[in-house]
Structure formats: C-alpha cells, structure tokens
Amino acid sequence: MLWLVCANAAGLFAFALIQGYTVAHGLVEGGAVAAFAVVGVAWRRDRRIGSSAVSLGLLTASAVAVHLSHGAIEAHFHFFVMIAVLTLYEDWLPFLLAVGYVLLHHGVGGVVMPESVYDHSDAKAHPWKWALIHAGFVAAAGAANVLAWRLHEETRGHLRQLATIVESSEDAILSVSAEGTLRS
C-alpha cells in the first residue's frame, strides 16, 4: 500500500504538470501525498498508525486529483477507488477516516475554494449539503466493503478449519466432484 501512495504522489506531480501547473505547485501537491508515505514507513511497526497514515495518503491523493482537475466530478471517483483499496487492510478504521476526510475536505474546501472541489453550481452554493451527500456515498461504499471483508473472513475461517481437519486426520481423504470425478 505504501507503494501505491508513492505512485500516486509521482502521478499527481505529473498530472499537475499536464494540467499546466508549475513544477513548484506539482511538487507541493505530490509532496503532500508523499509525506503520508513517510509517516507510514516510520510507523509501520504499529499497524494502526501506519495503516491510518497510508489511508490518509490515499485519500489526500484523491483530494489532490479533485483539486488539480478543478473539481471535475470524474476526479471524485478516485475516492471510490481508494475506498476499495482500503478494504485490503481488513479494518474499519480506514473507512471511518475516509468518511470524516471526505466530509471535511468537501465541506471546508467547498467553502474556502469551491472551484477546487466542485464543478457544478449547486455544490458551490451549498458545499456542506454536497459534503454530506459525498460522505454518505463513502460511508455506504465503506459499509459494503466491510461487509464483503467480514463475509470473506468467515469463509477463510471455515477453510482453515477444514484444512486443520484434513491435515490432522490419519485417514485417507478423497475429494470428489459433484459428477463423481476424483479431484484429489
């Protein structure tokens, strides 16, 4: 995940240049994301702090992508891709961070610099309304991902239990398909 944060930092620097921003602007934007990777490396022994830093780095990458694209709605989808990536941590904390991050980013950013967060007039006029809507979407995506993670965790538990039974058995165990073909 740290590599993904670093790749986003480099990609955002290049995107800033493509969008016509200065090198200094690109370095600041990419550097903000890279700073979270540094914190993630420094705290990698503490899984919670390291994963939180990386999560915030990925979310910051989304916010920077939105900013560099002048609030284009398509850039907001970067948040949803990062939310799906956060599922790999199999922890609820990154999703809570994501909901809070989007709410604050879209709300405060929408008030201070609305053209950097939104590209439609209603959102610019009512940034907190749209911040709540976007945070709701992120919460729903996070809930779906946590549910998927929990279901997979349950399945993995059953598979581990079955593997333990097979490995500890002194009897021969055959696996046969529904058609009666010997599989193993």
Predicted confidence (pLDDT) per residue in 32-69, tens digit: 999 999 998 888 888 888 889 999 999 999 999 999 99
CB atoms within 10 A of CB 121: 9
The average confidence (pLDDT) of the chain is 90
Distance separating alpha carbons of residues 66 and 181, to the nearest angstrom: 54
Specify whether the CB–CB gap between 95 and 86 falls below 8 A: yes
Residue 90 has pLDDT above 80, yes or no: no
Amino acid at residue number 73: I
pLDDT of the residue at 121: 93
- pLDDT tens sequence across 96-119: 899 999 999 999 999 999 999 999
